[in-house]
Chains A and B, each alone.
Chain A
Amino acid sequence: MGWTRKILRVNLTTGTIKTEPLNMDWAMKYLGQRGLASKYLIEEIDPKVDPLSADNKLIFATGPLTGTAASTGGRYSVITKGPLTNAIACSNSGGYWGAELKFAGWDMVIVEGKASKPVYMTIFDDVCEIHDAEPIWGTSVWKTDAWLKKQHQDPMIHVTGIGVAGENKVLYSAIVNDLHRAAGRSGVGAVMGSKNLKAIAVRGTKGVKVKDGGRFLKATATAKQVLQQNAVTGAGLPTYGTQVLMNVINEAGAMPTRNHRQVQFEGAHDISAEAMATPRKSDGKPNLLTNQACFGCTIACGRISKIDENHFTIKNKPEYWHASGGLEYEAAWALGSNTGVNDLDALTYVNFICNEQGLDPISFGATVSAAMELYDLGLITKEQTGGIELKFGSAEALVKCVELTGKAEGFGRELGLGSLRLCTKYGRPDLSMSVKGQEFPAYDGRSIQGIGLAYATSNRGACHLRGYTIASEILGIPEKTDPLETAGKPGLVKAFQDATAAVDSAGICVFTTFAWTLNDIAPQVDAACEGSWTPESMLELGERIWNMERVFNNRAGLSSKDDNLPPRLLTEAAQTGPAKGKVNGLAQMLPEYYQLRGWTADGVPTNETLSRLSV
């Protein structure tokens, strides 16, 4: 119940397809999705494996609430060893694909090996097949989606796959489903590309059952009420999307600008939620057309946008004269504020291309901004960029970069390495705003101390979704803490990290936690699944997952040295805003964090900790 109790195992080297029962002992310990699939991955691969080799595995995993009426119950995750970070990667996506996989009767799909030539997979209920992908290799996510629906004569198919970026193994390439929802981070798309796997088309006609239907409907209805009555999930997110944060974070002086040289962007309002909803001067129409929900989501934060047909980006490209996934906050920041570009339609176009070619807009934008700083310093010249004037604030340069990166053409090949490898190549690794090789998201760790610690200690490299302390430090959820203070932050970070791992493992969206705590989530899980799931047991589950991921990373060769921030955040003070004069106080927080985690001073989980959590 909740689980379908079936796993699909596909070996692309041998072409074998097997069905296995879900390991229920592990399911009771790791629940689903992030936790459970990480357990499978860790049991099955060598932590030192080359992420882009045939020996790495790629797992598409749902949670027990995926495909149920629980609000936001449509999530799936892609779990693998990430090529950008060389750490465990777990990228989470919405849309409809995850629920469709569940309806086809599968909790997860484990992809092994490497096909000798490009292939795609179909999963139509019980029947999984491997097909020749020659007609779609080299095409975009959008073309692949349309081709598969036509080829298999079923418009109800849902597709997840890679664009040319994944084929070219761009180190931050994404896996994109339903045209514009993405398992975006850590380069999971490159792993799919390295296996010569273009796409997985799914169609399911089976049902998902829950343990106690009456109790489940009651628990989910109560929880939906909580979302509806909350100011963020009931009004802010549906109206403005995650872009509701743009002006808030800018005013907090935490908006990384021009590769974190500044912490406030003078053009923030031009690329904000409010700007998206305001009619453009050029054609009198707004950028934003509507909001859209992912499967089962009663929040509906997704943006659907349309660019002015006369905008320079698409003037002669009618193939982009239609609506598609618009800017959410992370993309607007990374592509906009961080590159100094305030042209809303240009950012929307770049976001379209990220979706179409399968790029993570956070790492892409942050890599371009690092390249812009290298250009500004004269370390990269027009010779290297192939003539692109890579100046901060240039929408034209940004657009050229996105068109080259997925295709791995010209300077795009260097941009595809990510900021750390790019900056290292030009002698300034310190200019890469990343942790464990993965670029920062949209909050400056000098102005929000806790998020700096969360970045430094995140198991998948810098990430806001591994412990979103912004909720507490800026929005006051569940209670307000001072963003400029380091005191209390190690405990806050740990609490957020553990709770998030539990949320991710249930099959629901972490955005629910603006309103929900584990007290709202546990009753839904408990009514759906065998076993007993309480807020306490779920928090322990989260801690177990966090430690399991950490052990894997340590075995993969990472250590406390990698729990670090770039020197800019530790030594160059914020120049404006409430955090003026502040740097991140990582050194004051990290030892206490290790201690609270039950790890040694070197960041290694002790045997007592591991046995307490039965990792």
Chain B
Amino acid sequence: MLKALVIDSGKCTGCKQCEMACSYENEGEFNVSKSRIRVFDFHTEARMVPYTCTQCAEAWCQQACPVNAITTDAASGVKIVHENLCVGCKVCTIACPFGTINYNASTGKVIKCDLCQGNPACADACPTGAITFQDIEQTGFDKMRSWASVAAKGSETSGPSTPTAKH
């Protein structure tokens, strides 16, 4: 089963535990500037929003890379940067429409989310469930369920008064 990170920004408190978990997993130290996931604080709107790579099926970064340093992991669908091949040209950082692949000046390579080989540290670290790791084909189901609940209530109150026969 392919899985994806699902971000519900309504649950984010802005604590940045995801950034610390990510940097520790990938860099062996707590360093939010090297985190592959970042939380943005839209202070005046009272919104905190985590954001990271969505692992595009057809990835701009991958297609732009002139040395084929970005490959797709067949099992997980993850786009992986091979540091031994990356020449640090940064073309991928320009190509990515979402800004989620970035240059790391201390290594001269680019860094992006690779879902931690199938066990994302950010999702583990999130204390509020704002970041979860779910079946890639059902990432919308939680929202569907909550809207379904609203729709059902609507039909109960305003629907036709014919008795429902539940056989």
Contact = CB atoms under 8 A, between A and B. Distances in A.
B86 interface: no
B13 A204 contact: no
B17 interface: yes
Contacts of A293: 13-16
A292 B45 contact: no
Contact of A323 (B14, B28, B31, B46): B46
Interface in A263-294: 289-294
B113 interface: no
Given A179-B43, A290-B46, A69 B17 contact: yes
Interface in A200-223: 204-210, 213, 217
Contacts of B17: 69, 71, 296, 298
A413 to B, nearest CB: 32
Contact of B44 (A291, A297, A324): A324
A481 to B, nearest CB: 31
B16 A207 contact: no
A103 B24 CA distance: 13
A300 interface: yes
B95 interface: no
A298 B29 contact: no
Interface string B43-58: 1111110000000000
B127 interface: yes
A228 B15 CA distance: 14
B33 to A, nearest CB: 4
Interface in A210-259: 210, 213, 217, 224, 228, 238
A207 B24 CA distance: 9
B43 A297 contact: no
B80 interface: no
Contacts of A297: 13, 15
A205 B31 contact: yes
B30 interface: yes
B55 to A, nearest CB: 25
Contacts of B14: 292-293, 300
Nearest to A210: B30
A68 interface: yes
Given A224-B127, A289-B46, A323-B44, A208 B29 contact: yes
Nearest to A234: B127
Interface in B44-103: 44-48
Nearest to A295: B16
Contact of A296 (B20, B27, B29, B31): B20
A213 B16 contact: no
Contact of B43 (A208, A298, A324): A324
Interface string B19-49: 0110110011111111000000001111110
Contact of B13 (A99, A213, A300, A306): A300
Given A208-B29, A296-B15, A300-B15, A213 B45 contact: no
Contacts, number: 83
A475 interface: no
Nearest to A206: B31
A416 B127 CA distance: 41
Contacts of B32: 99, 103
A67 interface: yes
B125 interface: yes
A69 B30 contact: yes
A293 B27 CA distance: 24
Contacts of B45: 322-323
A130 interface: no
A304 interface: yes
A369 to B, nearest CB: 30
B127 A298 contact: yes
Most buried by B among A156, A206, A293: A293
A13 to B, nearest CB: 33
A209 to B, nearest CB: 5
Contact of B29 (A207, A289, A300, A322): A207
Given A68-B20, A228-B127, A298-B15, A208 B44 contact: no
Contacts of A179: 43
Contacts of A306: 46
A324 B20 CA distance: 25
Nearest to A100: B32
B23 to A, nearest CB: 7
A205 B29 contact: no
A67 B16 CA distance: 10
B68 to A, nearest CB: 29
A322 B42 CA distance: 11
Interface in B134-163: none
Nearest to A67: B30
A81 B158 CA distance: 68
21 contacts: A69-B30, A103-B31, A103-B33, A179-B43, A207-B23, A207-B30, A210-B30, A228-B127, A238-B13, A292-B14, A293-B15, A295-B15, A296-B16, A297-B13, A298-B15, A300-B14, A300-B127, A304-B43, A304-B46, A306-B46, A323-B46
Interface of A: 67-69, 71, 96, 99, 103, 156, 179, 204-210, 213, 217, 224, 228, 238, 289-298, 300, 304, 306, 322-324
3 smallest A-B Cβ distances: which pairs?
Answer: A207-B29, A207-B31, A293-B15
Given A68-B20, A292-B46, A300-B13, 17 more contacts: A68-B30, A69-B24, A156-B33, A205-B33, A207-B29, A207-B30, A207-B34, A289-B46, A290-B47, A292-B14, A292-B48, A293-B15, A296-B15, A296-B20, A298-B17, A306-B46, A323-B43
Interface of B: 13-17, 20-21, 23-24, 27-34, 43-48, 125, 127-128
